[in-house]
Amino acid sequence: MTSTRTAARPFGRTLCAMITPFTEEGALDLDGARQLAAWLVAEGCDGLVLSGTTGESPTTTDAEKAELIAAVRESVGDRVSLVAGVGSADTRHTVELARAAEAAGADGVLVVTPYYSRPPQEAVEAHFRTVADASGLPVMLYDIPGRTGTRIEPETMIRLAAHERIVGVKDCSYDFLGTQKVLAQTDLAYYAGCDEHVLALYAIGAAGCISTVANAVPGPIAAILDAFDAGDTARAAELQSRATPLIEAMMGAGLPGTVTAKALLARLGLPGGPVRAPLLPAGREAADELLARYETLTAA
């Protein structure tokens, strides 16, 4: 597979927000992580995001996060980018995680807005600058106000874009106007963090996507962007539409994407294992529906 990493796509184009496999006893499954990562790359991902929300980062230890990066790097080598989620509500802890990710072999870090404390924009900006200054890794900002309670305002993004190591954004803001404003005034590489927006954001200049649904269907997600790159926008729209029922079941049916991704991976015989508390596994009915929609998509 040819990498699509460029200055405009610093982490590649089709990234998967990879789940973190656990054993049935709930321990970190490094062999499963190696196997899943290799499969995702073989099926069309040119970047992996580890220890994001989909990777259950709130329930993994700092040591587990570092072990996961090292294991996946061993599996995929330097063929793809590895971006490590290092966000927390504590700036000091986020700095520690960023440095540990660099030592473990990550290519970049994903830093979410500090959550729960709801800092004002001046504090949000200071947080990101402190983390960006703490290691030599490029930084991707993660804007997801629905979870954190705090937006990274477009004006803040524009100021942060001047930092040499702040190079990208995972966008879950649901604010197309704000996104277009930042795209027009900066060189930040935007990645759609919501699977229903993969094509829409790509069409207005995003660098690619960071997809949870790609845990199960990396090929169909990559195909949307392939069609657009080939100039066949009608085909790209058709492929996005075909993926919508599965996207809805995985991301819009009331269960976290981690839960639905692991339920579907289990049905497909791929590594995943259980979720960690406070999450609970998907029920049989939900898993049946996920498999049915998966089969419809992949049979098309």
| Contact yes or no for 223/267 (Cβ under 8 A) | no
Q: For tokens 């529906």, name the residue.
A: 289
Mean pLDDT of 93-118: 97
Distance CA 136, CA 211 (A): 26
Mean pLDDT of 10-23: 98
| Contact yes or no for 48/35 (Cβ under 8 A) | no
Q: Looking at residue 253, what is its pLDDT?
A: 87
What would the pLDDT profile of 28-49 be if each residue is shown by its tens digit?
999 999 999 999 999 999 999 9
Count H helices, E strands: the chain? 12, 8
Question: What is Dmax (Cα atoms) for the chain?
Answer: 50
Q: What is the pTM of this model?
A: 0.96
Q: Hey, which residues does 82 pair with through a beta bridge?
A: 48
DSSP secondary structure, 263-288, as one string = HHHHHHT-S--PPPTT--PPPHHHHH
Mean pLDDT of 245-260: 96
Examine the pLDDT at 103 and tell me if it is beyond 60: yes
Distance CA 208, CA 224 (A): 10
Mean pLDDT of 5-26: 92
Residue 54, annotated ligand binder?
yes
| Contact yes or no for 160/168 (Cβ under 8 A) | no
Across 208-244, b (16+ Cβ under 10 Å) vs e yields: bbbbbbbbbbbebbbbbbbbbeeeeeeebbebbebbe
Q: Looking at residue 7, what is its pLDDT?
A: 66
Burial of 68 (0-12, 13-18, 19+ CB in 10 A): buried
Examine the pLDDT at 5 and tell me if it is beyond 90: no
Q: Looking at residue 185, what is its pLDDT?
A: 97
Q: Looking at residue 258, what is its pLDDT?
A: 98
| Contact yes or no for 9/207 (Cβ under 8 A) | yes
Residue 144, annotated ligand binder?
no
Examine the pLDDT at 206 and tell me if it is beyond 50: yes
Q: How confident is the model at residue 300 (pLDDT cuts 50, 70, 90)?
A: confident
Catalytic residues, which ones? 142, 170
Across 162-184, b (16+ Cβ under 10 Å) vs e yields: eeebbbbbbbbbebeebbeebbe
**Domains in the chain, please, with CATH?**
14-233 (3.20.20.70)
Q: How confident is the model at residue 2 (pLDDT cuts 50, 70, 90)?
A: very low
Lowest pLDDT segment from 4-13, 153-162, 285-294: 4-13
Distance CA 232, CA 229 (A): 7
Examine the pLDDT at 217 and tell me if it is beyond 90: yes
